[in-house]
Amino acid sequence: GAVVSQHPSWVICKSGTSVKIECRSLDFQATTMFWYRQFPKQSLMLMATSNEGSKATYEQGVEKDKFLINHASLTLSTLTVTSAHPEDSSFYICSARVVGQGASEQYFGPGTRLTVT
Amino acid sequence: LAKTTQPISMDSYEGQEVNITCSHNNIATNDYITWYQQFPSQGPRFIIQGYKTKVTNEVASLFIPADRKSSTLSLPRVSLSDTAVYYCLVGASMDTGRRALTFGSGTRLQVQP
């Protein structure tokens, strides 16, 4: 199956700093990638849709100026958490869909654990 | 997007068959049903996907009745390593791939020895 990687797998940062998380599709091209956030014991919540070559589409309630998304190439999307605060501490997961063989499948990265102190 | 309803949690013992049912009354004609498994601090892992009737792969079976308003994930002879959260999603339709899957609450399966 298709492989999606994320880097870093975990990061600790101080309040007020910015953190960048990378999401890569390793063996396929993805014109669209998705970013989710998951708090402990909760389900995944879609944050935004990242489109290669265009602006990301954010879900309601997600601050686009705080969560900067850049889809620079067909294999890389980045999420930058700007001026991070402790309430931004969460598990961030990216995914991409492989289209073309019947129903498309959505593949997920391993996630990035962000802790803001 | 179709909303899904699953039991919050289930308990089982090693070696038993586990069936998790998901309701999706508003499923659209073009929507597929997909199940994912998630372990703590890991991304969801694809288990199985189907449109109607029955689908089987090396790890699970998926049963979908004719009206497609529900589906049942069947895990044969579970082991301790099957302890995880299982999500039922609908919407992986044959589109351009620009629409994300929406996760419901999932079912937390606990397998006991």
Do A105 and B49 count as a contact with CB atoms less than 8 A apart? Answer: yes
Task: Show pLDDT as tens, one digit a residue, over chain A (117 residues).
Answer: 689 999 999 999 999 999 999 999 998 888 889 999 999 999 999 999 988 888 899 999 999 999 999 988 889 999 999 999 999 999 999 998 765 554 567 789 999 999 999
CA separation, residue A93 to residues A6, A20, A46, A90, B44 (Å): 8, 13, 9, 10, 9
| Entry field: residues in chain B | 113
Do B98 and A51 count as a contact with CB atoms less than 8 A apart? Answer: yes
Do A32 and B97 count as a contact with CB atoms less than 8 A apart? Answer: yes
Q: Which two tokens stand for residue A63?
A: 């601050």
Residue with tokens 């399966």: B109
pLDDT tens track for B36-93: 999 999 999 999 999 999 999 999 999 999 999 999 999 999 999 999 999 999 885 5
Gap between the Cα atoms of A96 and A107, Å rounded: 5
Mean pLDDT of B7-25: 97
pLDDT at A31: 80
Q: A14-28 burial, b for 16+ CB within 10 Å, e for fewer? A: eeeeebebbbbbeeb
Q: Is pLDDT at B9 greater than 90 in this prediction? A: yes
Q: What is the CA radius of gyration of chain B?
A: 14
Q: Nearest CA to A78 among A20, A27, A18, A3?
A: A20
How many Å lie between the alpha carbon of B94 and the closest alpha carbon of chain A? 5
- The residue in chain A having the minimum alpha-carbon distance to the alpha carbon of residue B44 is A108
Residues on chain B touching A97 (C-beta within 8 angstroms): 92, 97
pLDDT at B32: 87
Q: Is pLDDT at B96 greater than 50 in this prediction? A: no
Q: Is pLDDT at B2 greater than 80 in this prediction? A: no
Residues on chain B touching A37 (C-beta within 8 angstroms): none
pLDDT at A106: 79
Q: Which of residues 77-106 of A touch B (CB under 8 A)?
A: 91, 93, 95, 97-99, 102-106
Residue B98's pLDDT band (boundaries 50, 70, 90)?
low
Q: Nearest CA to B60 among B40, B45, B41, B70?
A: B45
From the list A36, A106, A110, the residue facing B92 with the nearest CB is: A106
Which residues 6+ apart lie within 8 Å of A72 measured at CB?
Answer: A52, A78
Name the residue with higher pLDDT: B112 or A29. B112
From the list A34, A104, A113, the residue facing B41 with the nearest CB is: A113
Gap between the Cα atoms of A76 and A69, Å rounded: 11
Do A106 and B93 count as a contact with CB atoms less than 8 A apart? Answer: no
Do A46 and B100 count as a contact with CB atoms less than 8 A apart? Answer: yes
Which residues 6+ apart lie within 8 Å of B2 measured at CB?
Answer: B24, B25, B26, B27, B28, B31, B90, B91
Tabulate helix, strand, coil % of chain B (nearest 5).
5, 45, 50
What phi and psi, each to the nearest 5 degrees, are found at residue B43? -75, 155
Do A43 and B44 count as a contact with CB atoms less than 8 A apart? Answer: no
